Chains A and B, each alone.
Chain A
Amino acid sequence: NAGVTQTPKFQVLKTGQSMTLQCAQDMNHEYMSWYRQDPGMGLRLIHYSVGAGITDQGEVPNGYNVSRSTTEDFPLRLLSAAPSQTSVYFCASSDGLAGSYEQYFGPGTRLTVT
């Protein structure tokens, strides 16, 4: 199993550009989530999904969209990039409710918005 994969590893965007961060898992996990990590602030939940076709907002959803058309994939879309979205983004998955099951994290995408 590859586990949780994320692409790209690094990305530089100009303000106003849009892009999609890709996340895939091959463990047949129902739960998937996106976090951003900024220095001194820990991981903050952006959006999560408890299964295909179901998504919900986390702590910091503004400026991001998600969809879950398959169990395996959970892309994160930045609609109009802003410098405040410069961060490291992590995707994670778990076999059930996030609180009661271990989460498996991807390697991260480092995004810089200029």
Chain B
Amino acid sequence: SQKIEQNSEALNIQEGKTATLTCNYTNYSPAYLQWYRQDPGRGPVFLLLIRENEKEKRKERLKVTFDTTLKQSLFHITASQPADSATYLCALGNNDMRFGAGTRLTVKP
């Protein structure tokens, strides 16, 4: 069956460090993979989309990699700040989008 796994339920890091979140998937051949941020009590907000032919994509302090051989995406936040504390979700699929359970990131000052 198809699965999307985000390895860590929770990740705590110190301000200024780089946070690295992992998304692994099985039984998918996605053309795209997306990352979202969700704050408590709110709907998810889109961050980045990466295509299967793109190895890496950057947006400000965010970087996403996509390895279709390993079936894995890594999401990095460099120079992390307490304001980056949130749950981060990966998602893939076409019309029937599926989401991972998310990783709750806490950045301590």
B residues contacting A by CB (< 8 A) are 4, 9, 30-32, 34, 36, 41-46, 49, 89, 91-102
Contact = CB atoms under 8 A, between A and B. Distances in A.
Contacts of B99: 35, 42-44
Contacts of B96: 45, 48, 56, 58-59, 98
Contacts of A106: 43
Given A42-B89, A42-B100, A43-B89, A98 B43 contact: no
Contact of B31 (A33, A40, A48, A99): A99
Contacts of A97: 94-95
B100 A100 contact: no
Given A56-B96, A99-B92, 13 more contacts: A35-B99, A42-B4, A42-B99, A90-B44, A97-B95, A98-B94, A98-B96, A99-B31, A100-B31, A102-B34, A103-B44, A103-B46, A108-B41
Secondary structure of the B contact surface, majority rule: loop
A102 B97 contact: no
A102 B49 contact: yes
Interface in A12-33: 31, 33
B97 A45 contact: yes
Contacts of A100: 31-32, 49, 94
A104 interface: yes
B85 to A, nearest CB: 18
